[in-house]
């Protein structure tokens, strides 16, 4: 049992498929952010920080790259699940 909005609900009711899906628009925006914006922002940040010899540049770039990779993995899993459900 889970408590949500003050009501007890069963696990299978709480994790209904409809609640976990995202719209095509949201997916497309997140995909653009992950494939275009984040890599470009990471490169720009690295160039600017290195140009001004700012410390911890490697840490900042590692974190930015990790976020981009995480987003790509989540979107890839979402795409696989979408295609699997589409075939059924």
At residue 87 the predicted structure's pLDDT band, cuts being 50, 70 and 90, is confident
Q: How far apart are CA 76 and CA 66, in angstroms?
A: 15
In this prediction, residues 56-68 reach a mean pLDDT of 98
| Number of continuous H segments (helices) and E segments (strands) in the chain | 5, 2
In this prediction, residues 22-35 reach a mean pLDDT of 95
pLDDT for residue 4 is more than 80: no
In this prediction, residues 40-64 reach a mean pLDDT of 98
The answer to whether the CB of 1 falls within 8 A of the CB of 42 is no
At residue 11 the predicted structure's pLDDT band, cuts being 50, 70 and 90, is low
Mean pLDDT, the chain, integer: 86
Query: What per-residue confidence (pLDDT) applies to 88?
Result: 73
């Amino acid at each position: 049992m889970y408590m949500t909005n003050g009501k007890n609900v069963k696990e299978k009711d709480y994790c209904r498929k409809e609640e976990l899906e995202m719209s095509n628009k949201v997916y497309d925006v997140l995909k653009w952010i992950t494939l275009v914006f984040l890599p470009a922002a990471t490169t720009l940040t690295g160039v600017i920080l290195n140009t001004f010899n700012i410390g911890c540049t490697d840490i900042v770039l590692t974190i930015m790259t990790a976020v981009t990779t995480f987003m790509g993995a989540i979107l890839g899993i979402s795409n696989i699940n979408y295609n699997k459900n589409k075939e059924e």
